[in-house]
Amino acid sequence: MAKFWLLKAEPDTRIVKGKDVKFSVDDFESVKTSPWEGVRNYEARNLMKEMQKGEKALFYHSNCKVPGIAGFAEVSKEAYPDFTAWDPAHPYYDPKTDQDDPRWFMVELTFKSRAQNFVPLALLRYIADNSTLPPEIEYIGDTGAKAIKAMDLVTRGRLSVQRVDGKAWDTIVQLAEKGGWEELDLKPKKGGAAPRQPKKEKVAQKKEKPPPRPQRKRKVKEEEESENESESESWEEDGDNVKKAYTPQKAKGSTKRRKTEDNSTNDLAPRRRSTRAKA
DNA sequence: GCCAACGTTGGC
DNA sequence: GCCAACGTTGGC
């Protein structure tokens, strides 16, 4: 059955290797269709491989003054190798992948519409952090609020391609259509749950005195890196049963570290930040 | 531009 | 295999 997605892009100018990686909803609207190149994160890549033509996606503005959902899109082409990874001049060049064994993939998305009301991340956080809905947005209901609260966008900000469940999708669509929160103060309140800790002077529980360690020398180059080849198995072989590539292990639990496991999570590439696409 | 969150690296 | 140093994302 059809799934829903969220993809991030950066609406503000940012120069990477001499090129501007900006891609705003305005850019998206004007080009209409864009390949989503530059994703250099295994988990995000695996999600893109799951995307089917016609499935819907939220277009999110990231790393900018007012982050939030700016528009709606649709998958117009399913995953295929991201050739920009082989272009040394490209901002997201990855020297470790070759054309015989594509590591990175992209999809194409087609712009559908702008959000009539831009849905700021701060609103979603507000909904997630408060147990009761203000009258202005009561229309999303408790189940809507609960769906927002469970969104990866809220619980784990850093993934640039995310799945969105149907209820959350409906709720975002509702918010974008109806608005109503412009009078609300979305800033997190001091007293309540304090998400951002002011920074303690040091935790220093447990061990009494950790001895200093020798400086760690970072390897700049890998010799030939065998690296995690596991990554390829999800693609190449198995002409049979596609799937099984990535098993989303409930990214929840504690604040503890997330399982990295084969190719599900990390970013190995020089790339920074979100998903991007270019005009 | 700061810095929290969180993922990765690699010495021990 | 623990865990401190390091690197990166991305909200603020």
Alpha carbon distance A173, A154 (integer Å): 17
Look at the block and give the residue holding tokens 């990554």.
A231
Of A234, A225, A113, A132, give the one whose Cα is nearest residue A172: A113
Alpha carbon distance A124, A157 (integer Å): 12
> How many CB atoms lie under 10 A from the CB of residue A261?
15
Alpha carbon distance A55, A109 (integer Å): 10
User: For the whole model, what pTM was predicted?
Assistant: 0.78
Residue A175's pLDDT is what? 98
Q: Where are the beta strands (DSSP E) in A89-153?
A: 105-120
Residue A251's pLDDT is what? 27
For A253-275, what is each residue's pLDDT tens digit?
A: 233 344 434 443 333 333 333 43
pLDDT band for A278, please (50, 70, 90 cuts). very low
Residue A25's pLDDT is what? 97
Q: Cα A271 vs. chain centroid, distance in angstroms?
A: 14
In angstroms, how far is C4 C1' from A110 CA? 45
Find out whether A26 and A78 touch, Cβ atoms under 8 Å. Answer: no
- Strand B contact set, beta carbon < 7 A: A 156, 158, 195-199, 213-214, 216-219, 255, 257-258, 260, 265-268
Residue A191's pLDDT is what? 47
Q: Measuring from the CA of residue A271 to each C1', which nucleotide is nearest?
A: C8
**DSSP class of A137:** G
Which residues are paired to A108 by β-bridges?
A35, A77
Residue A246's pLDDT is what? 29
Which residues have a Cβ under 8 Å from the Cβ of A22 and sit 6 or more positions away?
A: A10, A11, A12, A13, A14
Alpha carbon distance A209, A207 (integer Å): 6
Alpha carbon distance A69, A116 (integer Å): 10
For A145-159, what is each residue's pLDDT tens digit?
A: 999 999 999 998 889
For A178-229, what is each residue's pLDDT tens digit?
A: 999 999 988 877 544 444 444 344 334 433 444 455 555 544 433 333 333 3
Which residues have a Cβ under 8 Å from the Cβ of A206 and sit 6 or more positions away?
A: none
Phi and psi torsions of A155, nearest 5°:
-85, -25
For A5-22, what is each residue's pLDDT tens digit?
A: 999 999 999 988 888 999
| Average pLDDT for A60-64 | 96
Q: Measuring from the CA of residue A158 to each C1', which nucleotide is nearest?
A: C9
Of A278, A10, A18, A249, give the one whose Cα is nearest residue A152: A249
Q: Report which of residues A242 and A175 the model is more confident about.
A: A175
For A222-258, what is each residue's pLDDT tens digit?
A: 333 333 333 433 333 332 222 223 222 222 223 334 4
For A88-135, what is each residue's pLDDT tens digit?
A: 888 888 877 778 888 889 999 999 999 999 999 999 999 999 999 999
Q: Above 50 in pLDDT, residue A83? A: yes
Q: Measuring from the CA of residue A270 to each C1', which nucleotide is nearest?
A: C8
Residue A197's pLDDT is what? 42
Residue A190's pLDDT is what? 57
